[in-house]
Structure 1
């Protein structure tokens, strides 16, 4: 039973990693060429996802379909994902720069 759950979760993770647009964008932003775009994308994406989350939560509070709670969770997760990426990108850029300049005697 554990092997079945393990294999099913691996298949779901593989599908979500390769087909969901935000995961593909985050994968691209983690590359050396995309790192310079990580902070601007995060600055735009975080408020957008938080605004969409607040709209869905307001609709649910006012008697809308409770299925929108799933969208609230997805929007919250995506905003957290881009916030971590926006904080991580300058650190990653700095470590790459220091590794490249490590050959110099300062």
Structure 2
């Protein structure tokens, strides 16, 4: 029973990671080339929160109860983008730090360890 639930959760996670637009966008942002878009992507939380407020207003005025599920999804997606902003900044700083270390090591390997005298210099 537990194995079946485990396998089902793996398939659901795989589907969500490969087919849901917000998860695809988060995966693109987490790549090295996309880290610079993390902070602007935080602004995508605004439409999700507005959609949640709009659905809540619809429910208050006699709308269907399944809109609670839409509100939950909108708030969840907004939270993902709100968190992704600071996370992308930290990941960008970390990768730039590692790149700077790699550049220094490369320059240290390329430059001679002793100053050479070329043409009387």
CA distance in 1, matches of 2:87, 2:36: 11
Q: Distance in 1 between matches of 2:9 and 2:32?
A: 29
Map 1:11-90 to 2 at 5 A. 11-43=11-43, 45-90=44-89
| Separation (CA, whole Å) in 2 of partners of 1:8 and 1:91 | 33
Deviations 1:33-56 (A, max 9, x none): 11111111212x011111011000
Which of the two has higher C-alpha Rg?
2
Deviation at 1:62, TM superposition (A): 1.4
RMSD: 1.3
- Bigger helix share: 1
Equivalent residue for 2:116? none
CA offset at residue 71 of structure 1? Answer: 0.5
Counterpart secondary structure, 2:62: coil
CA distance in 2, matches of 1:85, 1:41: 8
Residue 102 of structure 1 deviates from its aligned partner by 2.5
Task: Give unpaired runs (5+ residues) of structure 1.
Answer: none
CA distance in 2, matches of 1:15, 1:72: 21
- The two structures have a TM-score, normalised by structure 1, of 0.92
Gaps of 5+ in 2: 106-121
2:28 and 2:54 map into 1 onto residues whose CA distance is 29
Q: After TM superposition, which residue ranges in structure 1, 4 or more long, deviate above 4 angstroms?
A: none
The DSSP-based 3-state class of the residue aligned with 2:63 is: coil
